[in-house]
Amino acid sequence: MKSKKSIIQSAVSTLELEAAAILNVARNINDDFEKVVSSILQGKGRVIVTGIGKSAIIAQKIVATFNSTGTPAIFMHAADAIHGDLGMIQVDDIVICLSKSGNTPEIKVLVPLLKTANNLLIGMVGELNSFLAEQADLILNTSFEKEACPHNLAPTTSTTAQLALGDALAICLLECREFNEADFAKYHPGGSLGKKLYLKARDLALANEKPSISPTASVKDVLIEISKNRLGAVAVIDSANHVLGIITDGDIRRMLENNNSIAGLTAEDIMGKSPKSIQFDALAVDALDIIKQNNITQLLVLEQNTYFGIIHLHDLLNEGIV
């Protein structure tokens, strides 16, 4: 069993080796990288990313990043390619082949077939004197000093270099396409990430009741309205649906603490007269910011100057926005 000190040192050593590999990849960025970006931007087809072993796993991640940032891509396993999957490659597609050595048997079989089809072949390769590097039209250099594995066998540093270079390529393409948050939301509609980008305040408010009361309403009517709608608050509005204030559970408690008798009190007497609000077409994540900054649990939603509804902190929690 290793000592605590040696375990920590092992982790630090691995991370330092992999960090150095990424820096080396950065130093090796050259004109071929720019040509790859330009070719993909100008291309009419998709990007086919292929590899074998651990490189295949990295290829799948690169494909996922491409697709989510506006570059249509498909993963093709190098071994499956020679058993029928080559059929997924269309005339205008660009192929990126990942390989640590560039000399594996599957790569040596696959590359000539790819060259025959005349698709642009990009080799993301760690050995520049390899079969893949010699056959590729353009090279993305992921050469490195050694694997983090003490036996220099398990792909560790090499796959980190591939992953980092794939990210650099995806982000460069994203920036060239001026791919923005609205575009990102189209490809990420599910989960908390997507909801932060597209869910609006109106979407949450419409799912709730719309509690409201007139300024002359009695305290009893206020309590009934708050209890009925289970939002812990009610908006005080005038005849034109303009918000005059808000009454929350907290306002009710403070009223009871400060008054021996509630007879004759109206909604106008106990309401908060400067309620926090948000426009109905604002993002739900902006509503969360207002709620957090003001340490409140309910937020009024307005459509221009009129009352639209209420958002409760629980709505944001339920949607996974928090």
| Among the four given CATH numbers 3.10.580.10, 1.10.3300.10, 3.40.605.10, 1.10.3720.10, the one describing domain 196-319 | 3.10.580.10
Q: How far apart are CA 24 and CA 269, in angstroms?
A: 70
CATH topology of domain 4-179: Rossmann fold (3.40.50)
Give Cα separations from 284 to 129, 304, 322 (angstroms).
54, 17, 10
Residue 214 three-state SS: coil
Residue 246 three-state SS: strand
Q: According to the annotation, is 238 in a ligand binding site?
A: no
**pLDDT (tens digit per residue) in 199-210:** 899 999 999 999
**pLDDT (tens digit per residue) in 70-114:** 999 999 999 998 888 999 999 999 999 999 999 999 999 999 999
What pLDDT is stored for residue 319 in this prediction? 82
Q: According to the annotation, is 216 in a ligand binding site?
A: yes
Q: How far apart are CA 307 and CA 290, in angstroms?
A: 18
Q: How far apart are CA 317 and CA 79, in angstroms?
A: 45
**CB of 249 within 8 A of CB of 233?**
yes
Q: How far apart are CA 304 and CA 8, in angstroms?
A: 58
**CB of 179 within 8 A of CB of 262?**
no
What pLDDT is stored for residue 192 in this prediction? 60
Q: According to the annotation, is 188 in a ligand binding site?
A: no
**pLDDT (tens digit per residue) in 139-198:** 999 998 889 888 888 889 999 999 999 999 999 999 999 987 777 766 666 666 666 767
For the chain, give every residue range classified as CATH 3.40.50.10490.
4-179
Q: According to the annotation, is 83 in a ligand binding site?
A: yes
Residue 215 has pLDDT above 80, yes or no: yes
The pTM assigned to this predicted structure is 0.70
